[in-house]
Each structure stands twice: as structure tokens, then as C-alpha cells.
Structure 1
Amino acid sequence: MIINKILNVDDYYYDVFMSISESLTGFSVNELQSTGLADIYYKHILGQIEAATFIEFLNTSKTILENSYSQDQLNNAINAEIIADPGMQDMANNIITMWYLGTWEGAYVNDLSYKEGLVWNIMHAHPPGAKQPGFKSWGVKPVNSNS
């Protein structure tokens, strides 16, 4: 039964999920895994939508990833086969939002998802109230400070 297979994180669907997440977010698989949320996000999606819908998205992603030999080909294929299809685009948008903000359809996946959202890396900031920058950090100029 396919549902038992997809819930096994060692299956190739998980690898496809991580690879397409890398392409959609611009962060490497290692960076995504370092959030500690990869398995949780994969399983969360399965709990939120029908497995068949997710599998369709992953099969389309798998085909794109296997048939792309350059970054340009990959970007063009994602635009043509995922972004151009409203259902696939919704799934891609939800996955991007989940990685960046830690939310799925407006609700945080868990407490860690807020802390580990990719948005904080992009902003060179920390999540207020969750990860403090450290003692005496106020005396250090921000990374992109013009002053």
C-alpha cells in the first residue's frame, strides 16, 4: 500500500521532497535539514492533504528533477510544470511558505517551525522571543549596516 511506503522517511519520495524544496527555497538540502524540521514537514503535509495529491506533486517534481541537466532547465521546468498549474502552484507556495515562515495554511506547524523559519536567515535576524542574539549583541553592528 502506497501510504505505508510514503510514511517511511527512507523512501525516495522524501528525497524528492527535499530536492524540490531545495529548488523552491534556494537553500541547500543540508541547510534545510539543519533546521531539524525536514521529517516533520514531510509528515505534516501528509497529515494535511490527501496522500494522492502530495504523491502527484512529488511525481511531477521527480520527473522535473530527473530530466533537468542544468539550473536553467530546472527553473524552466518548474515554471512550466509546477508554477503554470494552479494546483501544483498552490502546493509549491505552501511548501515555500512552510520552510520560510514555519506555517502551513496560516498555522504554525510546531513551536520549532517559528524559530527555524528560513526568513530569519534571509533577514540576518533572530525570531523575537524565541532565539536571542546573545549577551552584548547590541554592541555589534548588524551584518548589512550602512552606518
Structure 2
Amino acid sequence: MTVPAVTKEVEDFVDLCVPLTGFAAFDLYATGMAERYLETARNQVGPTAFAEFRAAWAVAVAERGGPRDLSPTHLEVARAITYLWLTGAWPRLAPAAHAALRRQMANEEFVVAPEAYVEGLVWRTFHGHPAGAKPPGFGTWAVPPPPQPTTAALRQGLGLDEELVCRTGLTAEVALDAVPAHLLPGHRASRAIPPSAVPTAAARSDAPEEHA
């Protein structure tokens, strides 16, 4: 069996998604969805606007910045791509970003492909598995999950500089419940809500109000 070569465009996309998702490039490639997600993001955002986002995010990463260095529209694109990797679904964009991007398609959430749900990175964040797929071995329910990695361990695993600090407005490492909603890929919903039904993240406090 011949494994298709990874194009430079897919490679660049994965490299830019490492700091967005917090997962190493190995994990992103292992989903088998990198090329599909690149195609989805480019089609949903538009080729020109997507190229502008990639350039802006590349500059932010190179200058050791973070999401707060992006414009509101680019920040919404970053959130959507992160949500895509985590859940396998492209989310509904904030109305202001949807308008700014001049998107011609309906602003609705959709699952990219059946396998995208199975390969969602969200399952790995709590060492779980998607319902009906990738079940763990017999008796593994009795084994405690590994502890949460420290920030230093995450940086080492991602190959990031020890001095790298993303300017998110948080002065120190905090608990998940203390992270502002607009910095998360989606609402902190109960486990009873399937990924496809999770609403979009709360609007930024500095985002313009939507008028009817």
C-alpha cells in the first residue's frame, strides 16, 4: 500500500494548527483528516480570506504572540478551525465574522465527514473514546486515567520554547473553568450534549452588537 505524500500546503496548515489545538503535529496527522480539514476551512472562509488568516496567525506565532494578536474576524476563524479539529464539525460562526467574510453559504454547523466525528481530538483530552467507535480494551474502565500534563510538559511535547507565552490575557496557568468563554472552542456544555449540538462560543465582550 502506497501512502500519499503530504503536500507542503497541508504541512504548513498542520504546523499552524499545533499552537491552536495544543496537540503535536503527530497527533494531527494521525487523525487522517488534515487534508480534509484544510479543504473545509479554505472553502468555508474563502481562499483569499483564508490566506490572510494564515498569514496573520503565522506572524502571531513567529512573534510569540497569541489569539489576542488577531483581528476579531481572524480570531473567529481560529476558533472555528480549533473546533473543527476537536469535534470534526465546522461550527456556526459569529454573525459579525460571517458578514465580514462575505460567506455565500448558510451559517450553520455541520459534521465534515462520518470519520471526522470518530477522529475528534476532544476524546483524547479526557482519555475517552467516541460512542460506538474505538472502544478501549476489556477492563480498562478500572484503570485510572493518567494525570493532566503540566504546562511545561505540554510545551516540551509540542517542541515549544520554554519562554513562549501566548498573550491571551491570562497572567498564569488557570483551571479550565476559569478560562474566559471566548478563548474556548465552544461552550462548556454538559456531557449529555453531543458535539454536533454544542452551540458556538459566547461573543467577545468587545465584539460589536448584532442588530435585527
Mapping of residues 1-147 of structure 1, within 5 Å: 10-11=7-8, 13-65=9-61, 67-68=62-63, 74=64, 77-82=65-70, 85-105=71-91, 106-138=109-141, 140-143=142-145
Query: CA RMSD for the aligned pairs?
Result: 2.0
> What SS class does the counterpart of residue 57 from structure 1 fall into?
helix
Deviation at 1:132, TM superposition (A): 1.6
Deviation string, structure 1 residues 42-89 (Cα, Å, up to 9, x no partner): 011122221011000011123234x33xxxxx2xx223422xx11011
Residue identity matched to 2:82: I
Task: Return structure 1 stretches of 4+ with deviation > 4 angstroms.
Answer: none
1:6 aligns with none
Structure number with the higher helix fraction is 1
Deviation string, structure 1 residues 15-35 (Cα, Å, up to 9, x no partner): 332122100111111111111
Runs of at least 5 residues in structure 2 that lack an aligned partner in the other structure:
1-5, 92-108, 148-212
> What SS class does the counterpart of residue 134 from structure 1 fall into?
coil
**Which fold has the larger relative contact order, with Cα–Cα distance below 8 Å and residues 6 or more apart in sequence?**
2
How far apart, in 2, do the equivalents of 1:135 and 1:79 lie? 41
Deviation at 1:144, TM superposition (A): 5.2
How many residues get paired? Answer: 125
> What SS class does the counterpart of residue 125 from structure 1 fall into?
coil
Choose 90-99 or 104-113, whichever is displaced more. Answer: 104-113
Residue identity matched to 1:142: P
Q: Provide the identity percentage.
A: 31
CA contact (8 A) 2:45 2:77 kept: no
| TM-score, with structure 1 as normaliser | 0.75
Deviation at 1:119, TM superposition (A): 0.8
Deviation string, structure 1 residues 87-128 (Cα, Å, up to 9, x no partner): 011100001100111110221111111111111111111101
